[in-house]
Amino acid sequence: MASDVELPEGVEVSETGAGRFQAQARTAGGILLVDEPMAAGGLGSGPTPYDLMSAALGACTLMTIKLYAERKGWPLGAVKVRVVHRREALEAQDRFAREIVLEGALSPDQRRRLLEIAEHCPVHRTLARGSQIATVLAEAPLAGRLDPEPTDHASHMVEACEQADAA
């Protein structure tokens, strides 16, 4: 399934040839299948695109909370985040509901602060602010860089924690 060609940047998505919707998403860190549920005509073989957006929000929230608590030396144990995505119609605004469970001997003030920190995670900011999308049509995969340049999520988490402390 994996290509021998090194992925220069970003995420590459291609058809797998299986089912109507199944796609393969390849990143520098691995490969995963993306699909639609069987009830929608897919094979149900992987998360949907909206599941991936929800997973990005949940993962970034978890990582940012863990990073902040670690920097503060707080006794945070496990963190679990559940995200549900809804949109009533194609042109309606998306809504993400996020539930955060914090384990550990944290004070009420520490718990409150970690909930505030969740609002600072880079993916939360991306979704809340909206985004610009630059699209190019190519005859073959481009070997050069795309506009915009790729971002470094880890450095954005550190910056978000620092900004939250400065505020």
pLDDT in tens, 47-68: 999 999 999 999 999 999 999 9
The dotted CATH code for 49-129+159-166 is 3.30.300.20
Q: How confident is the model at residue 153 (pLDDT cuts 50, 70, 90)?
A: confident
SS3 state of residue 125:
helix
Structure tokens at 40: 């929608």
Which helix (DSSP H) or strand (DSSP E) does residue 72 occupy?
Answer: helix 49-72
Q: Would you list the domain boundaries of the chain? A: 49-129+159-166
Q: How confident is the model at residue 121 (pLDDT cuts 50, 70, 90)?
A: very high
CA 22 to chain centre: 20
Task: Name the maximum alpha-carbon separation found in the chain.
Answer: 57
Its sign, for the CA torsion 140, 141, 143, 145, is positive
